[in-house]
Structure 1
Amino acid sequence: MFKPSLTQARKFARSLACSVAAAALTLTTGAAAAGPSFVESSFWQTEVDAGHLPPVSERLPHIPLIVDLAAKGRSFGHQGGTLNTMVTRSKDIRQMVVYGYARLVGYSEDYQLQPDILHSFENVGNRRFTLRLRPGHRWSSGDPFTSADFEYWWKDIANNPLLSPAGPPDFLYVDGSLPRVSFPDETTVIYEWDQPNPQFLQNLAQARPPFIYRPSAYLKQFHADYTDANSLAAEVDYARVKSWAALHNKYDNMYKYDNHELPTLQPWINATAGKRIRHQFVRNPYYHRVDSKGVQLPYIDTVEMEIVAGGLVAAKSNAGQADLQARGLGFRDIPILRKGEKDGGNYQTYLWGTGAASQIAIYPNLNIKDPVWRRVLRDVRVRRALSLSINRAAINRALYFKLAKPGAMTVLEQSPFFDPVLRESWASFDPELANQLLDEAGLTEKDGYGIRILPDGRRMELVVETAGERQEVENALQIITDDWNDVGVKLVMRPLDRDILRNRVFSGTTMASVWYGWDNGLPQNHTSPAYLAPTDQVFLAWPKWGQYYQTNGTSGEAPDMAPPQRLLSLLHDWETAEDDTDRATAWRQMLKIHAEQVYGIGIISAAPQPVVVSNRLRNVPKRAIWAWEPGAHFGIYRPDEFFFQDGES
């Protein structure tokens, strides 16, 4: 079995053959805290026997996170085996960070925050957060994980203008001010603001976390403040980048996960260099979680992630080539997956709920450069008319066998803020009212084919761009094409690569685009409603307003319409609220504005998500929610606790 180098401590020659033994001899570990008798992993036993790796009792933090599987209603597992899964783009090996879901704090399955990498945390009035690390915790390289890694990120990365030209991430700003950050000892980090920052911990628990720490022992070799200038210049030349800052940023990719030498705290470490068709990830010998019988997690030794064409995910799953698969599968794939079960595919297809606010949503771009289209799309009567002219029941019947829920984009029933009135808002199929609204908007003139004429004489041809990744999106747009044609709007569908689509939207080129609804359709009182306000360019209806917020006004455009300005004001109300009642009030008012203004035209929600699970794989819940935020897809269900029944590949 392949065993990667344990050091991952990249030297200037970048050799993976650097001495593991030398690294092990420099360790200054103490014994793990009193508890169960820890079980050595057979995967690393050879390295331990050779003296290249300390025994598990010395690799674990002094206070590991002990997981009581019995209390969670799960089975204790066996170490071993290789889990096969697929993604459709090489960059999506980052899903291992999502699925691994090792976070400073993370969500439990009932969406409550709890310490994970942290031993504990203290929150005083949402103003002062004390983060306490696990003593003796180590990176996958064996280097100590301490407050020095937080200090390095804060002082040498986030506040270094060469590495972070825009400064620290915007979630750390409260009323334009950054926190006071201190590091009293090697296991304590304190963030303190004068005003409340109630979403601070929630940000740390995201599917894509901010990583307010870095493996400093590894990265300092690429930082001008810590490395000999001549050696660093040689590294810059070797890597073919323009500067030491570019070099540092190239190797500092905690989320992308494509630098196999970058130490990590995730359950599996990247063991594959460069771009490959198959990427292998192996168990982290220093991982901080252990079950209550003393077995270090993850149970599964190796994950192999194959990169395949999007159209092949269902077929390969049908053939039994995936042990755990949901990404790349959609509702339309259920029949072929069910057939594979009966034909000896050796798997089951679970149907999970989905956590996005809408399975399909159309976003008119209010920031489009074209002045005529900008004026048209900013007229709420036009957006309401486009929504009213969609036959959602027909889409549900044709594409989802009536198993989804037609309606406008709003939160799901599992959220305390769900209101059925908002789901129905401007979402009934009413072409007559749609025609009336378009007439009231001044779009009364039509050509010989019944297509309305824009104020500058062009036909009202609304180009809707898609990422071209989901067949159900294109099928739905085919139905909507006929619906909109009946009210005098010609829909032109344009599939694009996802990255090209987003760049076009961000630049103001795109008229309208299709994506999921809000990632988090399950908000609670403690969930920040920032994604309902123009705070981020990734909300495709207002990319320029989001850019303006994200860059503190240095790029993009300031919101110049009253409802979006009101959303920002309500977000501030939520951030400064003293109790959950006031936070809930802000949430409900923001949801009402979205329902009235139709910034995203929701089509359908709650379509079942197929999840292929090997018959040998255990601890995967049969009933769950497939959600990016909160949830990190599989992450919230802790794949490090999944195991193969026989413990073999």
Structure 2
Amino acid sequence: MKSLLKIINVLASFGIAYLIGVASLSAGEAPQLASQVKAGSLPPLNERLPEVPLILPVVDEIGKYGGTLRRAFLGPGDHNNYTRAVYDALVRYAPDGSQIVPHIAAGWESNSNFTEWIIRLRPGAKWSDGQPFTADDILFWYRDMLLNKELMPGGVNWMKNEDGSLASVEKMTDFLVKWTFKQPNTAFLLNMANLDGADKSISNLVFVPAHYLKQFHPKYTSKSKLDKKIKAAGFDTWTQLFAVEALPHLSGHRPGMAGWVPNGTTVSDKVFTIKRNPYFVGVDSKGNQLPYIDAIRFTFYADKEALNLAAVAGEIDFQGRHINMSSYPVLKE
């Protein structure tokens, strides 16, 4: 890892404090990843992290690598159970909710009247499959998704000008993207913080892995190849297929930017597992790549009663969603 890391308004994982400064850090990584590096199946850590990683200070002490976190969910409709563990927006709220701070992106700037906003990405950042994360992944969302009337006929409200037209998005460099609105938009960062790369609908995205999704888009794939993919997946149209493949928890194979990413399973399975992203942009205050936990396993339960019984039986490690507070005395025991 680079010996000198610039720390820019950094938000901690799961709502820990943020800071600004410069730190010299030593690199560390999960043993299972170190083994892959030694075997030659994974690049070394300094090639997997961006030039300026996201520093996530710990609460009490530096953690230890390993383990699977057990959670429970109620099926495909229980999407928020998943996103609470993998929130990966470009920017996000500070722990106390008082301001917006950088996350996957390194920072931003605006003009004096807030009609133009520039998002700065992290050079060297990569998707979970090792492909570069650049401005092209935002431009693909804008040109090939948002402006595609078949895929998103209604657009998205946060991108609309007062006259109903859509704001423009421009690639300035590989790591600088500019939004231009016809009127001041002081809510831009607030909206951006709510756009998670693992969200429940393509309407809630603002960046996607263009290199992966092009195979499901008619602009980049021949009709014959796309028709075969549509038929094999059991859909009638390319838009149906694309809407599934664009979301990690529905696709099961789509690369992501979060700390954990799906690895073959989806929310339609009885057990949905997300595993450590070897290219995650975040490190702790000592330079150890995050996350510490190897995987998160979501086990399906038919209803909240069954889920709470599982919690009482000690089958769930860490969860607030769907847990009845009336069960607290028993859970505490």
TM score, norm. by length of structure 2:
0.85
CA distance in 2, matches of 1:253, 1:94: 13
Partner of 2:293: 300
**Of residues 76, 94, 97 in structure 1, which corresponds to 2:62?**
76
Partner of 1:118: 105
CA 185–33 in structure 1, closer or farther in 2 if over 3 Å, else same: farther
Alignment of 1:547-562 (within 5 A): none
Partner of 2:188: 200
Partner of 2:179: 191
**Of residues 146, 154, 173 in structure 1, which corresponds to 2:160?**
173
Partner of 1:268: 260
Shift of 1:331: 3.1
| Higher normalized helix content (fraction of residues) | 1
CA 236–108 in structure 1, closer or farther in 2 if over 3 Å, else same: same
Partner of 1:484: none
CA distance in 2, matches of 1:226, 1:272: 24
For the 8 Å contact 1:271–1:279, the answer to whether it is kept is no
In the alignment, residue 71 of structure 2 is paired with which amino acid? T
For the 8 Å contact 2:72–2:316, the answer to whether it is kept is yes
CA distance in 2, matches of 1:162, 1:307: 34
1:233 match: secondary structure: helix
In the alignment, residue 214 of structure 1 is paired with which amino acid? V
Higher relative contact order (CA 8 A, sep 6+): 2
Shift of 1:205: 1.4
For the 8 Å contact 2:244–2:250, the answer to whether it is kept is no
CA 278–131 in structure 1, closer or farther in 2 if over 3 Å, else same: same
Partner of 1:47: 36
Structure 2: state its 5+ residue gaps: 5-23
CA 170–340 in structure 1, closer or farther in 2 if over 3 Å, else same: closer
Partner of 2:226: 232
Partner of 1:98: 84
**For residues 496-542 of structure 1, what are the alpha-carbon distances to aligned partners after superposition, in whole Å with 9 as ceiling and x for unaligned?**
xxxxxxxxxxxxxxxxxxxxxxxxxxxxxxxxxxxxxxxxxxxxxxx
CA distance in 2, matches of 1:212, 1:339: 43
Mapped pair 1:339 → 2:330: yes
Alignment of 1:318-397 (within 5 A): 318-334=312-328, 338-342=329-333
**For residues 213-237 of structure 1, what are the alpha-carbon distances to aligned partners after superposition, in whole Å with 9 as ceiling and x for unaligned?**
1100000011111112222222122
- Sequence identity of aligned pairs in percent? 31
CA distance in 2, matches of 1:207, 1:133: 15
Mapped pair 1:140 → 2:128: yes
Partner of 1:258: 250
For the 8 Å contact 2:195–2:205, the answer to whether it is kept is no
For the 8 Å contact 1:269–1:282, the answer to whether it is kept is yes
CA distance in 2, matches of 1:340, 1:211: 37
Shift of 1:109: 1.1
Shift of 1:132: 0.4
Partner of 1:60: 49
Alignment of 1:573-592 (within 5 A): none
**For residues 3-35 of structure 1, what are the alpha-carbon distances to aligned partners after superposition, in whole Å with 9 as ceiling and x for unaligned?**
xxxxxxxxxxxxxxxxxxxxxxxxxxxx64634
**For residues 140-185 of structure 1, what are the alpha-carbon distances to aligned partners after superposition, in whole Å with 9 as ceiling and x for unaligned?**
111110000111110011101111122x211111212321211011
CA distance in 2, matches of 1:224, 1:33: 44
CA distance in 2, matches of 1:188, 1:33: 24
**For residues 277-331 of structure 1, what are the alpha-carbon distances to aligned partners after superposition, in whole Å with 9 as ceiling and x for unaligned?**
2211111101011012111111111111111121122222122111102111233
2:309 match: secondary structure: helix
CA 239–264 in structure 1, closer or farther in 2 if over 3 Å, else same: same
For the 8 Å contact 1:33–1:62, the answer to whether it is kept is no
In the alignment, residue 77 of structure 2 is paired with which amino acid? K
Mapped pair 1:281 → 2:265: no
CA distance in 2, matches of 1:123, 1:321: 48
Partner of 2:146: 158
In the alignment, residue 294 of structure 1 is paired with which amino acid? G
CA distance in 1, matches of 2:264, 2:215: 22
Partner of 2:237: 243
Structure 1: state its 5+ residue gaps: 1-30, 343-649
For the 8 Å contact 1:118–1:132, the answer to whether it is kept is yes
In the alignment, residue 52 of structure 2 is paired with which amino acid? I
CA distance in 2, matches of 1:90, 1:325: 18
CA distance in 1, matches of 2:3, 2:136: 23
Alignment of 1:500-579 (within 5 A): none
CA distance in 1, matches of 2:128, 2:117: 27
Shift of 1:93: 4.8
For the 8 Å contact 2:3–2:25, the answer to whether it is kept is no
Aligned length: 303
CA distance in 2, matches of 1:279, 1:258: 11
In the alignment, residue 245 of structure 2 is paired with which amino acid? Y
TM score, norm. by length of structure 1:
0.45
For the 8 Å contact 2:116–2:179, the answer to whether it is kept is yes
CA distance in 2, matches of 1:183, 1:145: 13
CA distance in 2, matches of 1:41, 1:339: 35
CA distance in 2, matches of 1:137, 1:205: 19
1:294 match: secondary structure: coil
Shift of 1:46: 2.8
In the alignment, residue 242 of structure 2 is paired with which amino acid? H
Shift of 1:129: 0.9
For the 8 Å contact 1:101–1:207, the answer to whether it is kept is no
1:109 match: secondary structure: coil
In the alignment, residue 191 of structure 2 is paired with which amino acid? N
Cα RMSD for the two superposed structures: 1.9
Partner of 2:95: 109
CA distance in 2, matches of 1:150, 1:135: 14
CA distance in 2, matches of 1:217, 1:186: 15
CA distance in 2, matches of 1:238, 1:302: 29
For the 8 Å contact 2:262–2:273, the answer to whether it is kept is yes
CA distance in 1, matches of 2:81, 2:125: 24
CA distance in 2, matches of 1:93, 1:285: 24
In the alignment, residue 150 of structure 1 is paired with which amino acid? I
CA distance in 2, matches of 1:68, 1:310: 34
